[in-house]
A and B are shown apart, each in its own frame.
Chain A
Amino acid sequence: MLSRLRARVYFTVAAAAALLVGAAWLILGPISHSLHHDAAQLVSYGVVVGAFAILLGVVVSEALIRSLEAPVRDLQRVVTALAAGDQSARIRNVEDDELGELSRTVDRMATQIGARLDAMSAEEAQLRTILDSMVEAVFVTDPEGRIILTNAALQRLAGARVEGRTAVEAIRSPELHDAVALALRGVESSVQIETRMATESRVLAAHISPLPQGSGVVTVLHDVTDLKLADTVRRDFVANASHELRTPLTAIRGFAETLAGGVQDPVLVSRFVGRILEHSVRMQRLVDDLMQLSRAEAPDETFVVEPIDLSTAVARALRSVEAAAAKKRIKLQTDQAIAGVRVLADERALDHVLINLADNGVKYTPEEGSVTVRLRAAEDGWVYIEVADTGGGIAAPHLSRIFERFYRVDPGRSRDVGGTGLGLAIVKHLTQRMGGEVSVESSLGVGTVFRVKLRVARAES
Chain B
Amino acid sequence: MMNTHTSQQYYTELRSLKDRLLAMGGRCEAHIRQALQALEHQDAMLANEVTGTDHQINADELAIDDLAVRILALRQPVGKDLRFLLTALKVVTDLERIGDEAVNIAERAEELSSEPHLPETWRALPEMANAAAAMLHDALDAFVEEDAEKAQSVLEKDDEVDEFYGQVMRKSLEYMAQHSARVKAAMGVVSCAKYIERIADHSTNIAEMVVYMVRGEDVRHRGKK
* A binding-site residues for B, Cβ under 8 Å: 144-145, 165-166, 168-169, 172-174, 177-178, 194-196, 201
Contact = CB atoms under 8 A, between A and B. Distances in A.
Instruction: Give the dominant DSSP class at A's interface.
Output: mixed
Contacts of B56: 174
Nearest to B27: A174
Given A172-B140, A174-B24, A195 B29 contact: yes
B19 A166 contact: yes
A195 B24 CA distance: 12
14 contacts: A168-B19, A168-B26, A169-B18, A172-B22, A172-B23, A172-B25, A173-B26, A174-B24, A174-B60, A177-B19, A178-B23, A194-B30, A195-B30, A196-B29
Nearest to A239: B41
Contacts of A177: 19-20, 22-23, 26
Q: Which of B19, B27, B140, B144 has the most CB of A within 10 A?
A: B19
Given A194-B33, A196-B133, A196-B137, A168 B15 contact: no
A166 B15 contact: yes
A195 B137 CA distance: 10
B12 A172 contact: no
B89 interface: no
Interface of B: 12, 15, 18-20, 22-27, 29-30, 33, 56, 60, 133-134, 137, 140, 144
Nearest to A180: B19
B23 A168 contact: yes
B204 to A, nearest CB: 18
Contacts of B26: 168, 172-174, 177, 195
A194 B133 CA distance: 14
B23 A173 contact: yes
Given A166-B18, A177-B22, 18 more contacts: A165-B144, A168-B26, A169-B19, A169-B144, A172-B25, A172-B26, A173-B26, A173-B30, A174-B23, A174-B26, A174-B27, A174-B56, A177-B19, A177-B23, A177-B26, A195-B26, A195-B29, A196-B29
B135 to A, nearest CB: 11
B12 A169 contact: no
A35 B19 CA distance: 108
Contacts of B18: 166, 169
Contacts of B140: 172
Contacts of B23: 168, 172-174, 177-178
Contacts of B24: 174
A165 to B, nearest CB: 8
A387 B24 CA distance: 54
Contacts of A201: 33
Q: Which of A166, A172, A173 has the most CB of B within 10 A?
A: A172
Contacts of A178: 23
Nearest to A397: B123
Given A144-B12, A196-B133, A196-B134, A168 B22 contact: yes
Contacts of B27: 174
Nearest to B21: A168
A165 B29 CA distance: 20
Nearest to B123: A397
Give 5 closest A-B pairs by Cβ, nearest first.
A177-B23, A172-B26, A174-B23, A174-B27, A168-B22
Nearest to B141: A172
A166 B60 CA distance: 18
Contacts of B144: 165, 169
Nearest to A197: B137
Contacts of B60: 174
Contacts of A165: 144
A196 B22 CA distance: 13
Nearest to B136: A196
B29 A169 contact: no
A158 to B, nearest CB: 11
A165 B134 CA distance: 21
Contacts of B29: 172, 195-196
A239 to B, nearest CB: 9
Contacts of B12: 144
B110 to A, nearest CB: 18
A181 B197 CA distance: 34
Nearest to B144: A169
A169 B19 CA distance: 7
A26 B134 CA distance: 107
B174 to A, nearest CB: 17
